[in-house]
Structure 1
Amino acid sequence: MHTIPDEGTWFLVLNPAAGGGRGKKLLPEIESALNEAQIKYSLHLTTEPGEAIWAVQEAIAAGLRNIIAAGGDGTFHEVANGILTQSIVDPSALTLALIPAGTGNDWPRTWQIPSDIKGAVRVLSEGHTCLQSAGLIQYHLNGLPCTRWFVNVAGCGFDAAVAAAANKAKENGRSGYLTYVFQLVQTLFRYKEVASHLQINQQSILVDLFAVLAGIGKYAGNGMMLVPEANPASNQFSITLVKKIPRLKVVRNLPKLFNGRFTTMREVSILQGSKLAINAGRNLLLQADGESLGEAPVTFEIFPARIKLVVPRPNQPPK
């Protein structure tokens, strides 16, 4: 554990559209809590996808070293990529705090960062930080090679298909937990397994792939514990591999997705590795931190101690 140095103003990136407009509604409460805690900040409101990446890069170039991300998992993903893709300072020299204001808020859930504004700001004001790993993805979009970082959970297969459907619904003005569940169930009966070749470190696996997830954090998909053995401070991904599975079996076990007990099913394997490569016979979609990116072939590689995150005090879970 470390303590945040007193380096002045925080750069607050807030997505007003997070959580179907929840970010905008929470802005007065966020500002009030920060002012009450006597935390100095400059505010940047995002207006379009991808904006948080370059906004953070510009803030770092201007000398700011402490960043607050207020929004949902998409906002957290972009802010983290802004930190990890700049080359002015080592990413681990920057401090990132999260204020959950979206629908899923899956990354802060692993760290037990409070979901209420006052609780999240209290964690920020207490100033305890921890270094966590980040994952680098090399993938393809329209046949062209691309790269992206992730800080929570990334995967290929069914989860990516659900993310694509949910993100499309969001573009059409439909978001929230119920929308996500609807897209999950609808996608479940449309999705077809993809013959895939997985390489986990030196282990080679041929599989009719339902889903594979590389986890730094435990949660994805609006509170589902899809990678229950993940440890964000580890130098290894925890990998959840799901082979071809009857759809009704998935439906019967849906409640177990929220407590991680689905891993007892024979179609599910829990593996570990610092590198995961996936090749598929046809298009296999990819998501990272809930964001739809592209398709296989894809490679995930973990980089330990890459992000310095403000977290609750050790051995004292938030009230």
Structure 2
Amino acid sequence: MKTARIIYNPTAGKETFKDQLSNVLTRFENAGYITSTHATSGPDDATYAARFACEQNFDLVVAVGGDGTVNEVINGLADFNERPDLGIIPMGTVNDFTHALTIPNNLEEAIDTILSGETAKVDLGSMNGKHFMNIAGGGKITEVSYEAPSKLKAMIGSLAYYIKGIELVPQMRSINLRIEYDDDVFQGEVMLFLIGLTNSIGGFEKLVPDAKLNDGYFSLLIIEDVNLAEFAHLLSIAMKGEHLKHPKVHYFKAREVKVSSFEEVQLNLDGEFGGVLPAHFKNKKEFLKVRVPLAFYQELNGEDMEYSLPDTEQEM
């Protein structure tokens, strides 16, 4: 028999998942899984639960919650050479990672993906011993993600970070950074740098339009010093995917990135506090095994999605 461990945030999704738990367990057991659950009780608890699942050789770990819960689970899985497949049921305020993987927000459809979908290998980012699956960043603007009011985040998701950012730009300043990416170096006054793995970052689907989740490369975005008007303009053109043409935006692909500064600069990993500079980012190519929809799996791996008739039918 296959084994599954469901790790869920009991407060996610307006606490609706708890009411559906019995039906969820029935679906997994009908699919041939011996299934157990773990309700998280505080920060990093999902990481410990994921480590336990690895130690007990579970075949499948299911993370239920938003990007924060998924990030904690991934940090638990990343400690092991042999890891269970990861299934995700998005139930959080911010679900950028599952959006990038085209995993449905609907509970039943997300379970269908876990039980009947394909297992894709996607890249994972590491930074000073921590891991992230979607985005890392630094600069004064990233610090506003911790200050965005929770009610605002609940209503409009990650866009709240940027609204708060616009409010604080007048009192912000750029920071002199040294950013080494593979064999090149950028040094100068920077308002913000972002290191992305997917094309869905902070609600902006076109921020890194050519992102590929299994190519072993980060998308590195660097924004030089900007004023309020320039920042607002950048946000507006970023929604259309036209920001890469802006003279104060620099875009590179890199497998490794090292960032340092003489000042203390806070880091953001998948929307949460990730420590301070200096930092060494590494892309772990195809490190994570995730259950995804068939269409996404085929697109990711460059497979022909057109249906071909068997030879005998083609000859008729």
TM range (shorter): 0.7 to 0.9
Structure 1 pair 190/25, CA: closer, same or farther in 2 (3 Å)?
farther
Aligned counterpart, 1:65:
59
Identify which range, 290-299 or 73-82, moves more after superposition: 290-299
Q: 1:192 aligns with which of 173, 181, 184?
A: 173
User: Number of matched residues?
Assistant: 292
In structure 2, the gaps of 5 or more residues are 300-316
Aligned counterpart, 1:149:
131
Matching of residue 275 in structure 1 with residue 256 in structure 2: yes
CA distance in 1, matches of 2:125, 2:197: 8
Q: Give the residue type in structure 2 aligned to 1:176.
A: A
CA distance in 1, matches of 2:194, 2:10: 29
Local SS of the residue matching 2:294 = coil
Local SS of the residue matching 1:80 = helix
Aligned counterpart, 1:113:
103
Asked if structure 1 preserves the Cα contact closer than 8 Å seen for 2:166 and 2:231, the reply is: no
Structure 1 pair 180/195, CA: closer, same or farther in 2 (3 Å)?
closer
Aligned counterpart, 1:3:
none
Local SS of the residue matching 1:187 = helix
Matching of residue 134 in structure 1 with residue 124 in structure 2: yes
Identity of aligned residues (%): 23
CA distance in 2, matches of 1:184, 1:224: 19
Aligned counterpart, 1:35:
26
CA distance in 1, matches of 2:20, 2:44: 25
CA distance in 1, matches of 2:141, 2:110: 28
CA distance in 1, matches of 2:279, 2:18: 38
Local SS of the residue matching 2:48 = helix
Asked if structure 2 preserves the Cα contact closer than 8 Å seen for 1:217 and 1:227, the reply is: yes
Asked if structure 2 preserves the Cα contact closer than 8 Å seen for 1:23 and 1:71, the reply is: no
Structure 1 pair 202/48, CA: closer, same or farther in 2 (3 Å)?
same
Local SS of the residue matching 1:124 = helix
Structure 1 pair 311/264, CA: closer, same or farther in 2 (3 Å)?
same
Local SS of the residue matching 1:189 = helix
Give the TM-score taking structure 2 as reference length. 0.85
Q: Give the residue type in structure 2 aligned to 1:69.
A: A
Structure 1 pair 199/177, CA: closer, same or farther in 2 (3 Å)?
farther
CA distance in 1, matches of 2:11, 2:167: 25
Aligned counterpart, 1:123:
113
In structure 1, the gaps of 5 or more residues are 1-6, 139-146
CA distance in 2, matches of 1:81, 1:199: 25
Local SS of the residue matching 1:208 = strand
CA distance in 2, matches of 1:107, 1:259: 20
CA RMSD of aligned residues (A): 2.2
CA deviation digits over 1:199-233, x for unaligned, max 9? 01110111211111111112222455433332110
Local SS of the residue matching 2:104 = coil
- How far does residue 34 in structure 1 lie from its aligned partner after superposition? 5.2
Local SS of the residue matching 1:176 = helix
- How far does residue 162 in structure 1 lie from its aligned partner after superposition? 2.4
Local SS of the residue matching 1:198 = strand
Aligned counterparts, 1:79-228, within 5 A: 79-85=73-79, 87=80, 89-91=81-83, 94-138=84-128, 147-166=129-148, 169-170=149-150, 175-178=153-156, 179-223=160-204, 225-228=206-209
Q: 1:54 aligns with which of 37, 48, 59?
A: 48
Asked if structure 2 preserves the Cα contact closer than 8 Å seen for 1:197 and 1:207, the reply is: yes
Aligned counterpart, 2:273:
292
Structure 1 pair 261/158, CA: closer, same or farther in 2 (3 Å)?
farther
Asked if structure 1 preserves the Cα contact closer than 8 Å seen for 2:118 and 2:292, the reply is: yes
Q: Give the residue type in structure 2 aligned to 1:216.
A: L
Asked if structure 2 preserves the Cα contact closer than 8 Å seen for 1:196 and 1:207, the reply is: yes
CA distance in 2, matches of 1:175, 1:230: 26
CA deviation digits over 1:86-138, x for unaligned, max 9? x3x423xx200111100110011111111111221111121311101111102
- How far does residue 73 in structure 1 lie from its aligned partner after superposition? 0.5
- How far does residue 182 in structure 1 lie from its aligned partner after superposition? 4.2
Give the TM-score taking structure 1 as reference length. 0.84
